[in-house]
Amino acid sequence: MGRRATNRSEWPALYSFVVSRLAISLLAVSFLAIFTTFARGASGDAPEITYRTATAEVRLTFSATDQRGHAIRTLGPRDFAVVDRDDVVRNFQSFARTEWAKLDLTMLVDASESVAPHYKQEIADALRLISQVEKTPDDESSVITFHRLQPALICPENCRASLVVNQISDVPANGLTPLFDGIVFAADLTSRSADLHTRKVLVLFSDGEDTISRHSAADAVAAALARDVQIYAVDLNPSGHSSEGTFLLQKLASATGGRYFTVGQGADKVYDAVLEDFHASYAVTYKLPGHAAGFHSVRILPTHNLGLHFHCRSGYEYSGRRN
């Protein structure tokens, strides 16, 4: 029996049938190609894609002093523990002496009316500090005053006592006290240096009073922490006189890893402490204990010698994002 001739009226149906069978065949080929690719990946013939999540790491720089206030130069990793929020950290990723290459020292001088009785001594101590920094050509010093409405930059980066004496002496001690604005201004000034090997120190001469700042005390601390600036506070209040200003200066120094002094201790004492911490500070790193976003408070405590006192920043901000 011969093959039946196809009627022209049947062509549309036949065309649809052929196209559908061709589509099914192509789909089968594509599925086979995909399956083969996956099979090769499983057998190791093709490279695999690996997703990695880096572990967050915390880095702290700090110094340690004994009961007499002298820097400890022989500290070991077993001599302390870090308390990160509520977690006690003893296993560190690394521990080493810091190798600072340069000192960037900024003096923030209170020139408001409340410090008028001690203003001459304040100026003399600031000039004494500048003359000490002059002995090391690689280091830098700046002078900022604050009174009335806002802080003022007297001398940037490369100050010399002979050049500053007239400028700072001509600034009268009067007006209101923008202390917190002065700290934020000084912290922003230090941000010009992004060198990780430069230690940034702010020596603050003040009685701790603030009467007109737009910023708060918390803003001042946050600005110093963000720029990794240590505040060495020189209290212009009479020695032995307890005041809110004294308490504030102590908190500013403690929160930023600096130190606190009374005006009677003198500029040489302050500079010796800055140099001690410059030559005898440490850096420790450890895995982030938890991934909760927000501010992580940090303390360093002694494990053996309870007479040790540690100077480090009060904490760090963590965004909660894992890299």
pLDDT digits (tens, 9 = 90+) for 110-146: 999 999 998 999 999 999 999 999 888 889 999 999 9
Same domain, 133 and 278: yes
Tell me if 50 is assigned to some domain: no
Q: Can you give the pLDDT at residue 194?
A: 64
Give the C-alpha separation, 258 to 136, whole Å: 21
Residues 31 and 167 in one domain: no
How many other C-beta atoms are found inside a 10 Å radius of the C-beta of residue 235?
A: 27
- Strands of the sheet containing 87-89, edge to edge, are 87-89, 80-84, 294-302, 315-318
The pLDDT of residue 288 is: 92
Same domain as 121, residue 28:
no
- Identify the burial level of 92 via C-beta atoms within 10 angstroms of its C-beta, where 0-12 means exposed, 13-18 middle and 19 or more buried: middle
Flag whether 2 is in a domain: no
DSSP characters for 58-78?
A: EEEEEEEE-TTSPBPS---GG
Q: State the amino acid at position 280 in one-letter form.
A: A
| Largest Cα span, the chain | 128
Mean pLDDT check: name the lowest of 36-45, 263-272, 311-320.
36-45
Are 225 and 90 members of one domain? yes
Q: Checking phi first, is residue 125 left (phi over 0); if not, alpha (psi -120 to 50) or beta?
A: alpha
Q: State whether 30 and 100 are in the same domain.
A: no
Instruction: Looking at the structure, tell me whether residues 34 and 108 fall in a common domain.
Output: no
The answer to whether residue 80 is domain-embedded is yes
Q: By mean pLDDT, which of 160-169, 202-211, 281-290, 293-302 is the weakest?
A: 160-169
In the chain, DSSP finds a helix count (H) and a strand count (E) of 7, 14
Instruction: Specify the amino acid at residue 118.
Output: H
Rounded to two decimals, the pTM is: 0.79
User: How many domains, in total, are found in the chain?
Assistant: 2
Indicate the angle between helix axes 217-226 and 244-255, nearest 10 degrees.
20
Q: How confident is the model at residue 157 (pLDDT cuts 50, 70, 90)?
A: confident
Instruction: Find all residues with CB under 8 Å of 287, minimum gap 6, and list them.
Output: 55, 56, 57, 58, 93
pLDDT tens for each residue of 116-126: 998 999 999 99
Q: Give residue 148's identity as a one-letter amino acid code.
A: R
Whole domain around residue 140: which residue ranges?
56-323
Residue 1, domain member (yes or no): no
Nearest C-alpha neighbor of 193 from the set 125, 148, 126, 142: 142
pLDDT score, position 320: 76
Helix (H) or strand (E) holding 163: helix 161-169
* Residue 200, domain CATH: 3.40.50.410
Statement to judge: residues 194 and 106 lie in one domain: yes
**294 has which bridge partners?**
318
Average pLDDT over residues 159-180: 87
Reported as a single tens digit per residue, the pLDDT across 228-246 is 999 999 999 987 777 999 9
140 and 103 in contact (C-beta within 8 Å)? yes
Check whether 32 has a pLDDT greater than 70: no
Average pLDDT of the segment spanning 32-39: 36
Shared domain check, 163 and 28: no
Do 38 and 107 fall into the same domain?
Answer: no
Whether residue 203 is found in the same domain as residue 311: yes
